[in-house]
A and B are shown apart, each in its own frame.
Chain A
Amino acid sequence: MSILLLLIIQIAVIIITSRVIGFLFRKIHQPQVVGEMVAGIILGPSVLGWLFPGVSAFIFPAASLKFLNTLSQLGLLLFMFIVGLELDPKLLKGRGHAAVLISHVSIIFPFILGTILSLYLYPLLSNNSVTFTSFALFMGASMSITAFPVLARILSEKNLIKTRVGAVTIACAAVDDVTAWSILAIVIAIVRAGSGKMPAWLTIAGAVAFILMMIFVIRPIVAKLETYFKIRGNKITNDILGMVILLMLLSAWTTEWLGIHALFGAFFMGAMMPRNKGFLKPIIEKLNDITLVLLLPIFFALTGLNTSIGLISGGEMWFYLLLILTAAVAGKLGGAAISARISNLNWRESAGLGILMNTRGLMELIILSIGLQFGVISPALFAMMVMMALVTTFMTTPFFEWVYPNKLIRKEIAEADIEKQRYKILIPVSFPSSGPGLLKIASLISSSSSLKVYALHLIRASDISISNLADSNGLSQNIEALKPLIDLAGEKSIPVHPLSFATRSAANDIIQIADIKDVNLILMGWHNPILTESILSGTVNEVMQSAKTDVCVYLERQFNPYKNILVPFNEGVHDRGALELAHRIAVNTNGQVTLLHIIKPKNLPPVETDNQTLSDKIPQARGIEEFPGDNVKLEVVESDTPLDTAIEISKKNYDLVVVGLSETWGLEPSLFSKRHERLGRECPASLLILRKYVPES
């Protein structure tokens, strides 16, 4: 039979088996990939070759496997590229430290157990052509891997991403992926050095040079693909796809040439691609179909063809397998769970995270295939490790459901939804006296039941004296600054999370905390400047410039329930934000918002009719959602000097002025002039200045 005919038969058999077995495994709530792994073993010598040796020899003659192998290697390159594309640095947002700690402990723990086990297994399952270092490092690496794609699929199928355990797990798995592949690259370099091909230091130096080159040279070039993508109408054309695949192949070729395996290059190029979802999603979709349905099942089949479970014969061999399984599970599950517990997750969450991180799946098979290809692991050990990968992947779903019943997941998702709907405000508090005022205005921006406040007191590092350090009550003194705010919050039943620490850069820390806590608004007090006349300067200015959320500065004249609110409105995103903020307050105080629109003389808008919307009346207000109820009133005034007019009108019976940051109102922080403070100084009402955050995209 010609090679092409045979190849077609082989691929057809592989696809049919993997789809059928995958379907059956889905029926028992297992991920498709477990079924596909089992399908590979069924097609190998362990089942088909054992039951029907003639059929096996006919379909998979040894000489023909090199063609299948080529296809499977291409599949792995594409798969690793997709894994790189799916890496999302945003996953680490707010949990970077914990994710890195949990992930790295959950790598090094099984890694160590793997190397300890090697002390016992090396003289039993290896030979003197492999050094102990290579053997132990490979055992360690293969014990410590987590299958990010399988994990992501389990988490999304169970809708777990919304829960704390799911969010931390996916972040850990992402860190795990990058770390594990970096470790593997080093291990491969050492193994190849052991076989005398290239000194390890040269390979590692080459790898470092490659990574630096990718980050500082290739990444900016690759970013231009996104520009081209936008020019082509946000469509992934065949030209762009071809370019992307070519780049991936080039990167894979380079790492293979450097001696750290082509898969590393494919993965790294994926991670270097622009993070624009609109750009990545169609590429992933285009590549996923052919990779997951055609090429990966071929890899599973080849793995199965190399796996002879018959080699695990006799009590001795099964004992080795038991040891491997114990080390793998204890190391990964135990390591991840303990480090998660240290990172303040509760025991149930920690156990759930450990179980999820223990999923090895396809990633394990990839590492094992590399080990077998390099001769670092023997055929019997390969079979045992494949069994370990299967068992650890298979046990994930039932064990997780046992620790985390569906009822509990639903409850956590509901709680997470409620939490997400909460309006979160970060209030940096410098002086104890300013806290209550800020909390009061915060409680008007959002009702107590849906409000969550983070009260932050920062101590400048330069203000910490030796006597402070020696004071055992130092921490409580810090919280003392927040006490009036916390007391008031207690009276109003507003949930407050006090935070206090030493800082070198107050603005940076405020911005970071806001980012980590994912707050909707940073609410800052307005203090009399000491060194400068500019009010929106220093920390306030830095926060306004760089915070990735809305920032509001509050100047309290006299706290009233704020029933009459004035919003000077010109145009621009900050003015629109001010109107929305004022409306929020008016809803809570049952007050009235007057939208003051100042226009040049003789530029009056057309005559109004009753059914006109706000954007009909003021074209600049286009895009503002229409406000329900009757608490927004429009006042149009002709004037050449809008700021003077706004100040003049604010002197009428208004108790709060909400204004957007703009030059018109003399509040643009880039303007260091006296005009800058006029609204603040001359307006008799309390003042809220809003800087609306506009994401770059």
Chain B
Amino acid sequence: MKTIILYIALIGILFIGLLAILRLGEKIKAPQNVSGKWRIDAGFVNSIHNSCTPVYLPKKDPLVQIEQSGIHLTVYFNDPAKTELHGKLANDSMFFEQELNVKNDFQNLCGKKTKADLSAVIEKLPDNSYELIGTWSNPDCKESHSIEFNAVEIPKGKR
């Protein structure tokens, strides 16, 4: 009898607690889902070849894959070197800052390891899909200039 009363008391109280937590949690907002594949604009593909931190994206189907763990993001470009950047999401903006190993010396004006910055804003398009609009820059490299970055979300069904 003692065990049954204890059982009902403990489990009952904890169960009510669980319901309260779930209720409370409904008010919490999670970051926007940006995970998945995005098709990169051709202009960026051409310009990034000539940056301090060149990324040799394919002319056909240049893609960036975003792996999301909440506000923590990793982007993977589909270049042969499989360039990846780690960054964060804050509201509707994402920021990546990473030192990249640069292999082709003749292009590199700022040393073997150069910092690359990518920042973008998520914008909703009229067809309810999303677009990333931002810039790619190499802050350590005085000769370089910012490159415009645009990518359009590939709907999940078409990936």
Contacts and interface: CB of A to CB of B under 8 A. Distances in A.
A132 B3 contact: no
Interface stretch (B32-40, B44-52, B56-64, B130-138): B32-40
Interface string A101-115: 100110011011001
A112 B14 contact: yes
A238 B15 CA distance: 47
A378 to B, nearest CB: 4
A123 B3 contact: no
Interface in B62-114: 67-72, 74, 86
A313 B86 CA distance: 10
Contacts of A378: 68-70
A125 B11 CA distance: 29
Nearest to A53: B82
Nearest to A130: B30
A98 B33 contact: no
B70 A126 contact: yes
A378 B34 CA distance: 12
Interface in A88-144: 97-98, 100-101, 104-105, 108-109, 111-112, 115-116, 118-119, 121-130, 132-133, 135-137, 140
A380 B34 CA distance: 15
Contacts of B29: 123, 128
Contact of A381 (B4, B17, B69): B69
A108 B11 contact: yes
B125 interface: no
A329 B70 CA distance: 24
A116 B34 CA distance: 25
Interface string A301-314: 00000000001010
B124 to A, nearest CB: 13
A134 B14 CA distance: 18
B69 A311 contact: yes
A136 B28 CA distance: 12
B82 to A, nearest CB: 8
A108 B72 CA distance: 30
A326 interface: no
A320 to B, nearest CB: 9
Contact of A127 (B24, B33, B86): B33
In this complex, the member of B69, B70, B71 whose beta carbon has the largest number of chain A beta carbons within 10 angstroms is B69
A231 to B, nearest CB: 44
Greatest chain B CB density within 10 A among A122, A127, A137, A339 is at: A127
A342 interface: yes
Contacts of A126: 30-31, 70
A553 B29 CA distance: 72
B96 to A, nearest CB: 13
Given A97-B4, A100-B7, A130-B30, A112 B17 contact: yes
Interface in B3-29: 3-4, 6-7, 10-11, 14-15, 17-18, 21-22, 24-26, 28-29
A519 B99 CA distance: 74
B6 to A, nearest CB: 6
B72 A136 contact: no
The interface centre, meaning the residue of B3, B14, B31, B70 with most chain A CB atoms within 10 A of its CB, is B70
A311 B74 contact: yes
Contacts of B18: 108, 111-112, 115, 140
A115 B15 contact: no
Main SS at interface, chain B: mixed
Interface residues of A, number: 40
Contacts of A104: 7, 11
Contacts of A98: 3
A119 B25 contact: yes
A624 B34 CA distance: 79
B30 A127 contact: yes
Nearest to A311: B69
Nearest to B36: A129
A343 interface: yes
A321 to B, nearest CB: 12
A96 B114 CA distance: 65
Contacts of A140: 18
Nearest to B25: A132
A104 to B, nearest CB: 6
A101 B7 contact: yes
A123 B6 CA distance: 35
A194 interface: no
Contacts of A199: none
Nearest to B89: A127
Which of B17, B32, B72 has the most A CB atoms < 10 Å from its CB? Answer: B72
Contacts of A313: 86
A122 B28 contact: yes
Interface of B: 3-4, 6-7, 10-11, 14-15, 17-18, 21-22, 24-26, 28-35, 67-72, 74, 86
Given A123-B71, A130-B30, A313-B86, 13 more contacts: A100-B7, A104-B7, A109-B14, A111-B14, A116-B21, A119-B24, A122-B25, A127-B35, A128-B30, A128-B33, A136-B25, A140-B18, A380-B72
Interface of A: 97-98, 100-101, 104-105, 108-109, 111-112, 115-116, 118-119, 121-130, 132-133, 135-137, 140, 311, 313, 317, 339, 342-343, 378-381
28 contacts: A97-B4, A97-B7, A101-B6, A101-B10, A104-B11, A105-B11, A105-B14, A108-B15, A115-B21, A115-B22, A116-B21, A118-B21, A118-B25, A122-B28, A124-B71, A125-B71, A126-B30, A126-B31, A127-B30, A127-B33, A128-B32, A132-B22, A132-B28, A132-B30, A136-B21, A136-B22, A311-B69, A378-B69
Q: Which 9 A-B pairs have the closest CB atoms?
A: A380-B69, A378-B69, A125-B70, A132-B25, A129-B33, A127-B33, A97-B3, A108-B14, A124-B70
